[in-house]
Chain A
């Protein structure tokens, strides 16, 4: 563990921006909320934020990205496209780091998706332990309020200085290249970091009434509780907001976009959401998840069981973005899962 004074962290960040070897992204204020955005000035960085509107997955799986280009003259030519911007992303909370780890598994399983993996490989992740907790978050219940992995560097605010934990060679390289005034952490610094972590775990208002390890079991028991799902989904707009803000949602749709000449164009993928009505429609017109309650249930099943079955991860990291963005306020996982537990017990 290293220690850096707060003003030295500012110059570390300023140096990365100035040298411009990689694009520097940091959490900044946007309206009354926070967002990951390109950082132009070190002083715009806000490491005391509660939660960002969108998770940092947008840098590895952009809202819209080109997969290939085609040209149709005499012959058809198809060429893969992968626009990779190497980035240093500063200020990622532990739950988002864990979500990125989960996405890494999804995109490297069986068929390796280089569109995601290359962007990921070219990025450096600087995490920060939470100082503020969103009123919607329940990360402590999910075991994601702190993390020992998933970062290249991890910052903890210790008042007038930051502790820096080094998670990878990418992280130590970054310190060597840009950072001048590093001190070795003393044993009291290490203790302070542990105290900060423990303190943050106690700061959550929302919580699960059971261990998340029970989720796969709970979802299996709860699948057939039709009335429960119908009741909870009754006010669902099928808008897909919960999907779009979720750090572990990765489903996508693919579209071709033709040039005006019609002679060529691009194939792009964009975020899709399983709450949207058309998600499971096939060519014949059949919709395999026609009812709102089926789509609503599907999303919770994905989070609590399906992705666990496939990759071994509970695919909810407790950030609370889904519930905070849900207009009819029916997407709070703590409410849904806790009530489902009541129902099946």
Chain B
């Protein structure tokens, strides 16, 4: 069987750099062995292979505007594939398929105010758009970033976050659910929703982009609804078990009374209006 015949055949890629981010998360810079760019849009994902262990869907964390032809994956060691990936080092080989799925609608977002809301590892897919927006800052209006995690030591992309804190062109706010007594933390303490009331939202012209753990969506969306932000102006990135990435295996289906989606084809980026009220979505 020739290489181009199987939709399940990954291409080989090399880990060109790794960076320990927290106890659980590592950042991997990856280069396709073909020398080609990945060619992704912000919000899309790849299927990452560790042959002998398996494949897992991972969202691309770098922006397409990043210099060079490598891309970045921020990965939490949580399952077989991701734990095996964490044992990999610079120079090691992996397999990559993709990019797959929908992306954040950058053209629709141009000229708008943006409100990013990220919980924990949800910052990983959002960063592909945040960095895109920073690189093309003049195309967008006010940019707010709300970022929350459980504890200060779980904060990801520390260097970049430091830039966001001091960047005059962004309004960056952060929070932790709890802060141990012996840790110095100047940000807010409380769940991510506690940051939302403080943000001035022009509902006519603001789009919100949300990603976080499943439990977070419900409460964040309630807050945004209270601010009267229309559902059509909210985009979500949702994790499901995208086993094949190509709409065949059936694992990532999201159902509701109104219909059904495959997260790997119709998502992972969804407009909230399209999944609102879906029992298995939020």
A281 at the A/B interface (Cβ < 8 Å)? Answer: yes
| Interface residue from B2, B260, B265 paired with A306 (Cβ < 8 Å) | B260
Distance between Cα atoms of A251 and B152 in the complex (Å): 41
Q: Distance in Å from the Cβ of B23 to the closest Cβ of chain A?
A: 16
Q: Distance in Å from the Cβ of A83 to the closest Cβ of chain B?
A: 9
Task: Please name all residues of chain A whose beta carbon is closer than 8 Å to the beta carbon of B5 when the two chains form the complex.
Answer: 80, 82, 114
A329 at the A/B interface (Cβ < 8 Å)? Answer: no
Tell whether, in the assembled complex, residue A110 and residue B12 are in contact, meaning their CB atoms are under 8 Å apart: no
Q: Distance in Å from the Cβ of B274 to the closest Cβ of chain A?
A: 14
| Interface residue from A82, A110, A220 paired with B246 (Cβ < 8 Å) | A110
Distance between Cα atoms of A82 and B2 in the complex (Å): 10
B239 at the A/B interface (Cβ < 8 Å)? Answer: yes
Q: Distance in Å from the Cβ of B276 to the closest Cβ of chain A?
A: 15
Task: Please name all residues of chain B whose beta carbon is closer than 8 Å to the beta carbon of A223 when the two chains form the complex.
Answer: 255-257
A265 at the A/B interface (Cβ < 8 Å)? Answer: yes
Tell whether, in the assembled complex, residue B248 and residue A76 are in contact, meaning their CB atoms are under 8 Å apart: no
Tell whether, in the assembled complex, residue A80 and residue B2 are in contact, meaning their CB atoms are under 8 Å apart: yes
B187 at the A/B interface (Cβ < 8 Å)? Answer: no
Restricting to A97-132, which residues have a CB under 8 Å from any CB of B? 106-107, 109-115
| Interface residue from B52, B255, B260 paired with A265 (Cβ < 8 Å) | B52
Tell whether, in the assembled complex, residue B257 and residue A258 are in contact, meaning their CB atoms are under 8 Å apart: no
A106 touching B78 in the complex, CB below 8 Å, given contacts A81-B1, A254-B55? no
A279 at the A/B interface (Cβ < 8 Å)? Answer: yes
Q: Distance in Å from the Cβ of B153 to the closest Cβ of chain A?
A: 19
A67 touching B12 in the complex, CB below 8 Å, given contacts A76-B51, A281-B241? no
Task: Please name all residues of chain A whose beta carbon is closer than 8 Å to the beta carbon of B56 when the two chains form the complex.
Answer: 283
Task: Please name all residues of chain A whose beta carbon is closer than 8 Å to the beta carbon of B246 when the two chains form the complex.
Answer: 110-111, 113
A251 touching B250 in the complex, CB below 8 Å, given contacts A81-B1, A283-B82? yes
Q: Return 20 A-B CB contacts under 8 Å, by A number.
A: A70-B52, A70-B95, A72-B52, A78-B9, A80-B3, A80-B6, A81-B6, A106-B248, A111-B248, A113-B7, A115-B8, A252-B243, A267-B54, A281-B241, A282-B240, A283-B78, A283-B239, A284-B214, A288-B240, A309-B259
A160 at the A/B interface (Cβ < 8 Å)? Answer: no
Distance between Cα atoms of A284 and B24 in the complex (Å): 12
Tell whether, in the assembled complex, residue A272 and residue B6 are in contact, meaning their CB atoms are under 8 Å apart: no
A190 at the A/B interface (Cβ < 8 Å)? Answer: no
Tell whether, in the assembled complex, residue A280 and residue B12 are in contact, meaning their CB atoms are under 8 Å apart: no
Tell whether, in the assembled complex, residue A254 and residue B82 are in contact, meaning their CB atoms are under 8 Å apart: no
Tell whether, in the assembled complex, residue B255 and residue A306 are in contact, meaning their CB atoms are under 8 Å apart: yes
| Interface residue from B51, B251, B253 paired with A70 (Cβ < 8 Å) | B51
Distance between Cα atoms of A75 and B52 in the complex (Å): 14
A252 touching B12 in the complex, CB below 8 Å, given contacts A72-B51, A80-B5, A289-B280? no
Task: Please name all residues of chain B whose beta carbon is closer than 8 Å to the beta carbon of A111 when the two chains form the complex.
Answer: 7, 246-248
Distance between Cα atoms of A80 and B6 in the complex (Å): 6
Tell whether, in the assembled complex, residue A254 and residue B54 are in contact, meaning their CB atoms are under 8 Å apart: yes
B213 at the A/B interface (Cβ < 8 Å)? Answer: yes
A255 at the A/B interface (Cβ < 8 Å)? Answer: yes
Number of A residues with CB within 8 Å of any CB on chain B: 52
Q: Distance in Å from the Cβ of B188 to the closest Cβ of chain A?
A: 24
Tell whether, in the assembled complex, residue A115 and residue B6 are in contact, meaning their CB atoms are under 8 Å apart: yes
Chain B residue with Cβ nearest A305: B260
Interface range on chain B: under 10, 10 to 19, 20 to 34, or 35 or more? 35 or more
Tell whether, in the assembled complex, residue A254 and residue B243 are in contact, meaning their CB atoms are under 8 Å apart: yes
3 tightest CB-CB pairs across the interface, nearest first?
A251-B250, A80-B6, A76-B93
Q: Distance in Å from the Cβ of A291 to the closest Cβ of chain B?
A: 11
A135 at the A/B interface (Cβ < 8 Å)? Answer: no
Task: Please name all residues of chain A whose beta carbon is closer than 8 Å to the beta carbon of B255 when the two chains form the complex.
Answer: 223, 298, 301, 306
Tell whether, in the assembled complex, residue A256 and residue B250 are in contact, meaning their CB atoms are under 8 Å apart: no
Q: Distance in Å from the Cβ of B261 to the closest Cβ of chain A?
A: 10
Distance between Cα atoms of A95 and B246 in the complex (Å): 27
Chain A residue with Cβ nearest B258: A220
A14 at the A/B interface (Cβ < 8 Å)? Answer: no
Chain B residue with Cβ nearest A81: B1
Restricting to A119-158, which residues have a CB under 8 Å from any CB of B? none
Distance between Cα atoms of A80 and B52 in the complex (Å): 15
Tell whether, in the assembled complex, residue B213 and residue A279 are in contact, meaning their CB atoms are under 8 Å apart: no
| Interface residue from B249, B256, B259 paired with A272 (Cβ < 8 Å) | B249
Restricting to B148-204, which residues have a CB under 8 Å from any CB of A? none
Tell whether, in the assembled complex, residue B95 and residue A220 are in contact, meaning their CB atoms are under 8 Å apart: no
| Interface residue from A68, A107, A109, A284 paired with B213 (Cβ < 8 Å) | A284
Chain B residue with Cβ nearest A265: B52
Restricting to B230-282, which residues have a CB under 8 Å from any CB of A? 239-241, 243-244, 246-251, 253-257, 259-260, 265, 280
Chain B residue with Cβ nearest A288: B280
| Interface residue from B8, B52, B78, B259 paired with A262 (Cβ < 8 Å) | B52
Tell whether, in the assembled complex, residue A254 and residue B52 are in contact, meaning their CB atoms are under 8 Å apart: no
A255 touching B54 in the complex, CB below 8 Å, given contacts A75-B93, A80-B2, A82-B6? yes
Restricting to B127-161, which residues have a CB under 8 Å from any CB of A? none
Tell whether, in the assembled complex, residue A272 and residue B93 are in contact, meaning their CB atoms are under 8 Å apart: no
Q: Distance in Å from the Cβ of B137 to the closest Cβ of chain A?
A: 33
